[in-house]
């Protein structure tokens, strides 16, 4: 199993595209709170964090 970190994940397109493969997204990061809500609703692994882009 390949483990991946998803940066700037948006609504989870990458996670959705790799479902059923041997790649597992273990953590995702996004800045937009609306995208995070969508990601959590569509991803099989809704482990996502919001990061402030100013840091």
pLDDT band at 54 (very low <50, low <70, confident <90, very high): low
pLDDT digits (tens, 9 = 90+) for 8-33: 989 988 888 998 999 988 889 999 99
DSSP-assigned letters across all residues of 1-55: -EEEEESS-TTTHHHHHTTTSSEEEEEEEES-HHHHHHHHHH-SS--EEE--TT-
- Our count of domains for the chain comes to 1
The C-alpha atoms of residue 21 and residue 13 are separated, in whole angstroms, by: 14
pLDDT of residue 45: 67
Mean pLDDT of the chain: 84
Q: Is residue 51 part of a domain?
A: no
In a domain, 53, yes or no: no
Return d(Cα 35, Cα 39) in angstroms, integer. Answer: 6
On whether residue 34 sits in a domain, the answer given is yes
Give me the percent of the chain exceeding a pLDDT of 70: 85
Half-sphere exposure (Cβ direction) of 51: Cα atoms closer than 13 Å: 13
Q: Which domain holds residue 12?
A: 2-44
Q: Are 25 and 5 in contact (CB under 8 A)?
A: yes
Does the pLDDT of residue 46 top 80, yes or no?
Answer: no
């Amino acid at each position: 199993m390949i483990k991946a970190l998803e940066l700037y994940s948006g609504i989870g397109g990458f996670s959705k595209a790799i479902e059923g493969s041997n790649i597992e997204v273990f953590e995702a990061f996004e800045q937009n709170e609306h995208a995070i809500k969508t990601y959590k609703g569509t991803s099989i692994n809704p482990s996502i964090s919001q990061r402030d882009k100013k840091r």
